[in-house]
C-alpha cells in the first residue's frame, strides 16, 4: 500500500496536479496573469503523463479546443483569468447546450476590464453563472488553500463528468500563488469519475435523452455517429429551431439536471455556527480572513460563525433559507462590490439582514476589518 | 438499367431523416457536399473514424447532413474545435467544412494559426463571396466593387485571396476550384484527405439568392456559365498571383502540395520522449 505524500505546492501546482490525478489529459490555454502558472506547469507535466498541451491563439480558441477534445473523449481543462474568461463566454454556452464536460480554472484578479492584473479579486462570481447568453447552469467551485485546490479540482472534474456540464474552478491570485503543505493521497485512494457511455446499439441511441438526469455520452470514433449542435436540439441531437416544445424541454433539462441535484453538490464549511447569532459568509481566500475574524469575535464573547462556500453555484438557496430561521444577521465579505451578497439576500427571503463587506484595491480583507464589521453589526442590535 | 428516383448513390452517407436540406435553389453547397461524399466513398474511409466539424452559416449546416460524428460549433470556431478533437483522438480523420465568413472573418485568426502549426486536418472553405444565411452582407472575400446588403454602393474593401492566405500561413496543400469543377473538386478532396498536415481547398460556390442577384447573375446558371467562361486552370502557380477580381478570370487548380512535419506528430514524439515510465 502506497502512502500519502507531503508536498510543498502553490495553489497553481496543486490545481494542475489535482487535474492530472483526476485524469485530465488535454489542456489548451492562452497566457494571462495570474493564471499562466497553471498552463506552464501543465506544459511540463502533461506530456509526461501521455497527455496533450497546446497553447492556442486566444481564449476563444482554447475553450473551443476543450469542447472538441472532450468530444474526442478526453478530460480537458484550461486556465484563465477574468478577461480571458469573458472571451470564453460564447463557448461556455456551447458547452452547456451540448452538455460537454470540461473544467475552466479561473484565477481571479481585480477587474473590471484589464484592471489590476497582478492583484487579487473575486469579481467574477456572477460571470461564472450568467456570463453566456440564454438559460443554462454551471457548477462553480472555490478553494481556499493549495490543499483544497488539489482536492476540489478532482471534485470539479468528477462533477463535470457526472453531470456533463462545464465546471468553473473559481480560484484567485492569492490562493494560486500561496505555497503550503499539500497532502497527496495514494493514487488508488483518489476517486476519478468517468463519463457514462452508451451501451445500446447505435440505431437505438439517443445522445441527448437523459437517463436519471444525464444522457450517456458517445464520443468521436465510438461508432454512434452523433450530431452535436449549438442549435436548440431534440433528444437525437437534431436542430429544432422553431419548436417551442423542444426548446422548453431542452432548457429545462440543462438547467434542472443541476438545480435538482444542488444538495448533492453542496459543499460548505461551517465554523462555530452551532450557537452563532451573526454569520460571516465568505469563499476563496477571504474564507481564511473570515475564520480569523470569527476567532477574534469569539474571544470577545461575540457569537459569530463562519459559512464558507466551497460550491458557489448552484447556490445553496434552501440552506440559507432555513438558516435564516435562526440567524438574523449575515455579513458577506467578498473582494468585489457585492455579488454573493445578492444571492444570500435573495435566499433568506427577508427573514434576516444581509450586509456586504466589500473589499477594493486588489487586496484581501484583514481579519480585523471583518471583526470590526462583526462588532458593528452586533452593536447595531 | 433501372433508375430508382427515390434513391441517390450518396444516400448511405447522409442522415436521410434530415433531408430536405435548408439550402436555396441554385446554391453551390449541394455540389460541394456531393463531391465530399464521393471522395470519402472512393477512398473507402471508415465513417466511424471520420468527424466533420462546421461553424455557423449556410455551409455550417453541412455537418448536420453527413452521417458521421458531426459537430456544428460556434461561429468561427470550427478549426479550434477540430484541433482539440484531433489532438485528443488522433485516430479520427477530422474535416472542417465551413464558409468564407466563418473561416476568414470571425475565425480568421484560428485559420492562420492552425495552418502555421500544421494541424493534421483538412479544411474545405466554401467561398460564395458573401454572408448568405444572414441576408447577403459583405464578407472578407467579397470582390472589390461588388454590391451586397452592407455595401449598397459597391464594396470598398479589398478582399482576401484565401489560397494566398493559406499558403502564407503554412498550409501543406492548397487548391481552388469552383462548383463547376465537380470532379476535379472531388479528386482534390481525395488528395487533401490523404495528405498529412493542414490541407485547404477553396471552393467558389454560386449564391444566386443573396449574392448573384445583386451582381448581375440572378440565376445559378449565370454563375455556372461565368465559371465556365472565366476559369483558368493553372496548377502550381504562386497563389499570390491568383487574386479574384470582378470580371477577371478565376484561376483554379492545385497551387501547393508540400511535406512538413505536423503538430500532431510532434506531440506524439514529445510524449514518447518525456513519458514517465
Q: Is the pLDDT assigned to residue A195 strictly greater than 90?
A: yes
> What are B29-84's pLDDT values in tens digits?
999 999 999 999 999 999 999 999 999 999 999 999 999 999 999 999 999 999 99
Q: How many Cβ pairs within 8 Å bridge chains A and B?
A: 147
| Predicted complex ipTM | 0.97
Query: Is the residue at B166 inside a domain?
Result: yes
Q: Is the pLDDT assigned to residue B212 strictly greater than 90?
A: yes
Residue ranges in A36-117 assigned as alpha helix (H):
36-45, 59-71, 82-97
How confident is the model over A325-352, as a mean pLDDT?
A: 98
Contact A72 B74 (CB under 8 A): no
Residue of A nearest to B57 (CA): A231
> What are B76-94's pLDDT values in tens digits?
999 999 999 999 999 999 9
Q: Is the pLDDT assigned to residue A18 strictly greater than 80?
A: yes
Task: Tell the burial category of A176 from Cβ atoms under 10 Å away from its Cβ (0-12, 13-18, 19+).
Answer: buried
Q: Is the pLDDT assigned to residue B8 strictly greater than 90?
A: no
Average pLDDT, chain A: 97
How confident is the model over A55-77, as a mean pLDDT?
A: 98
Query: How far apart, in whole angstroms, are the C-alpha atoms of residue B212 and residue B223?
Result: 7
CATH number of B179's domain: 3.40.50.970
For chain B, the domain total comes to: 1
Q: Is the pLDDT assigned to residue B277 strictly greater than 90?
A: no
Measured between beta carbons, the chain A residues lying within 8 angstroms of B71 are 68, 71, 227-229
| DSSP state string for A3-15 | --EEEEEEHHHHH
Contact A74 B89 (CB under 8 A): yes
Establish whether domains A5-189 and A269-379 are of one fold. yes
Answer for the pair B62, B54: CB distance below 8 angstroms, yes or no. Answer: yes
Query: Is the residue at B14 inside a domain?
Result: no
Q: Is the pLDDT assigned to residue B1 strictly greater than 70?
A: no
How confident is the model over B250-271, as a mean pLDDT?
A: 97
Nearest CB neighbour to A221, from listed B53, B92, B110: B92
Q: How far is A362 from chain B (nearest CA, A)?
A: 33
Q: Is the pLDDT assigned to residue A381 strictly greater than 60?
A: no
pLDDT at B102: 98
Q: Is the pLDDT assigned to residue A351 strictly greater than 80?
A: yes
Confidence tier at A2 by pLDDT (50, 70, 90): confident
> What are B91-126's pLDDT values in tens digits?
999 999 999 999 999 999 999 999 999 999 999 999
Strands A179-184 and A5-10, bridge-based pairing = antiparallel
pLDDT at B85: 98
pLDDT at A1: 62
Query: How far apart, in whole angstroms, are the C-alpha atoms of residue A40 and residue A36?
Result: 6
Using the Cβ of A62 and the Cβ atoms of chain B, whether some distance falls under 8 Å is answered with yes
Q: Is the pLDDT assigned to residue A288 strictly greater than 60?
A: yes
Query: Is the residue at B277 inside a domain?
Result: no
Confidence tier at B266 by pLDDT (50, 70, 90): very high
Alpha carbons within 13 angstroms on the beta-carbon side of residue A214 total 22
Domain boundaries, chain A: 5-189, 269-379
Given CATH 3.40.50.1700, say whether it is the number of domain A269-379: no
Measured between beta carbons, the chain A residues lying within 8 angstroms of B73 are 64, 67-68, 94, 230
Confidence tier at A103 by pLDDT (50, 70, 90): very high
How confident is the model over A59-76, as a mean pLDDT?
A: 98
| Among B85, B92, B271, B276, the residue to mutate for chain A (most A Cβ within 10 A) | B85
Percentage of residues of chain A with pLDDT beyond 90: 99
Query: Is the residue at B32 inside a domain?
Result: yes
CATH code reported for the domain at A5-189 = 3.40.50.970
Amino acid at each position: 500500500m502506497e502512502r500519502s505524500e507531503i508536498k510543498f505546492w502553490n495553489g497553481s501546482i496543486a490545481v494542475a496536479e489535482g487535474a492530472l490525478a483526476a485524469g485530465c489529459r488535454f489542456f489548451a490555454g492562452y497566457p494571462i496573469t495570474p493564471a499562466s502558472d497553471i498552463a506552464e506547469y501543465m506544459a511540463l507535466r502533461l506530456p509526461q503523463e501521455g497527455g496533450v498541451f497546446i497553447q492556442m491563439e486566444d481564449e476563444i480558441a482554447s475553450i473551443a479546443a476543450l469542447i472538441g477534445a472532450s468530444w474526442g473523449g478526453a478530460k480537458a481543462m484550461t486556465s484563465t483569468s477574468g478577461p480571458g474568461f469573458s472571451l470564453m463566454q460564447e463557448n461556455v454556452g456551447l458547452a452547456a447546450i451540448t452538455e460537454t464536460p470540461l473544467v475552466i480554472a479561473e484565477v481571479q484578479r481585480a477587474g473590471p476590464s484589464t484592471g489590476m492584473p497582478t492583484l487579487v479579486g473575486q469579481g467574477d462570481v456572477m460571470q461564472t453563472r450568467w456570463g453566456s447568453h440564454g438559460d443554462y447552469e454551471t457548477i462553480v467551485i472555490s478553494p481556499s488553500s493549495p490543499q483544497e485546490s488539489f482536492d476540489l479540482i478532482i471534485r470539479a472534474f468528477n462533477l463535470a463528468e457526472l453531470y456533463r456540464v462545464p465546471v468553473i474552478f473559481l480560484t484567485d491570485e492569492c490562493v494560486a500563488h500561496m505555497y503550503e503543505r499539500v497532502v497527496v493521497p495514494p493514487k488508488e485512494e483518489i476517486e476519478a469519475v468517468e463519463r457514462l457511455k452508451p451501451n445500446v446499439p447505435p440505431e437505438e441511441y439517443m445522445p441527448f435523452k437523459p437517463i436519471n438526469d444525464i444522457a450517456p455520452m458517445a464520443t468521436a470514433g465510438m461508432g454512434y455517429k452523433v450530431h452535436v449542435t449549438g442549435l436548440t436540439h431534440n433528444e437525437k441531437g437534431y436542430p429544432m429551431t422553431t419548436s417551442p416544445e423542444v426548446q422548453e424541454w431542452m432548457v429545462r433539462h440543462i438547467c434542472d439536471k443541476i438545480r435538482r441535484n444542488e444538495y448533492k453538490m453542496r459543499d460548505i464549511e461551517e465554523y462555530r455556527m452551532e450557537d452563532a447569532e451573526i454569520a460571516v459568509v465568505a469563499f476563496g481566500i477571504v474564507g481564511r480572513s473570515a475564520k480569523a475574524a470569527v476567532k477574534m469575535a469569539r474571544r470577545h464573547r461575540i457569537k459569530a460563525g463562519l459559512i464558507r462556500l466551497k460550491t458557489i453555484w448552484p447556490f445553496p438557496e434552501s440552506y440559507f433559507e432555513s438558516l435564516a430561521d435562526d440567524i438574523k444577521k449575515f455579513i458577506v465579505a467578498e473582494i468585489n462590490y457585492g455579488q454573493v451578497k445578492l444571492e444570500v439576500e435573495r435566499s433568506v427571503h427577508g427573514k434576516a439582514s444581509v450586509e456586504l463587506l466589500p473589499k477594493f484595491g486588489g487586496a484581501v480583507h484583514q481579519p480585523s476589518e471583518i471583526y470590526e464589521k462583526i462588532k458593528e453589526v452586533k452593536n447595531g442590535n | 438499367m433501372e433508375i430508382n428516383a427515390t434513391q441517390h448513390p450518396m444516400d448511405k452517407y447522409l442522415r436521410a431523416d434530415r433531408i430536405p436540406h435548408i439550402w436555396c435553389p441554385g446554391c453551390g453547397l449541394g455540389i460541394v457536399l456531393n463531391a465530399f461524399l464521393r471522395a470519402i466513398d472512393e477512398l473507402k474511409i471508415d465513417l466511424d473514424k471520420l468527424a466533420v466539424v462546421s461553424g455557423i452559416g449556410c455551409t455550417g449546416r453541412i455537418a448536420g447532413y453527413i452521417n458521421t460524428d458531426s459537430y456544428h460549433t460556434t461561429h468561427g470556431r470550427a478549426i479550434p474545435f477540430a484541433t482539440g478533437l484531433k489532438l485528443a483522438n488522433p485516430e479520427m480523420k477530422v474535416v472542417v467544412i465551413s464558409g468564407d465568413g466563418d473561416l476568414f472573418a470571425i475565425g480568421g485568426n484560428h485559420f492562420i494559426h492552425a495552418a502555421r502549426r500544421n494541424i493534421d486536418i483538412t479544411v474545405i472553405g466554401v467561398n460564395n463571396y458573401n454572408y448568405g444565411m444572414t441576408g447577403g452582407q459583405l464578407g472578407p472575400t467579397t470582390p472589390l466593387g461588388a454590391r451586397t446588403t452592407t455595401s449598397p454602393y459597391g464594396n470598398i474593401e479589398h478582399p482576401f485571396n484565401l489560397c494566398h492566405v493559406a499558403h502564407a500561413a503554412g498550409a501543406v496543400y492548397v487548391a481552388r476550384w469552383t462548383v463547376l469543377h465537380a470532379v476535379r473538386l472531388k479528386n482534390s478532396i481525395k488528395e487533401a484527405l490523404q495528405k498529412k498536415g493542414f490541407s485547404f481547398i477553396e471552393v467558389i460556390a454560386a449564391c444566386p439568392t443573396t449574392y448573384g442577384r445583386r451582381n448581375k447573375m440572378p440565376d445559378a446558371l449565370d454563375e455556372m456559365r461565368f465559371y465556365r467562361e472565366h476559369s483558368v486552370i493553372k496548377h502550381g502557380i504562386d497563389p499570390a498571383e491568383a487574386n479574384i477580381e470582378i470580371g477577371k478570370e478565376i484561376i483554379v487548380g492545385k497551387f501547393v502540395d508540400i511535406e512538413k512535419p505536423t503538430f500532431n506528430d510532434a506531440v506524439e514524439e514529445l510524449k514518447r520522449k518525456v513519458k514517465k515510465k
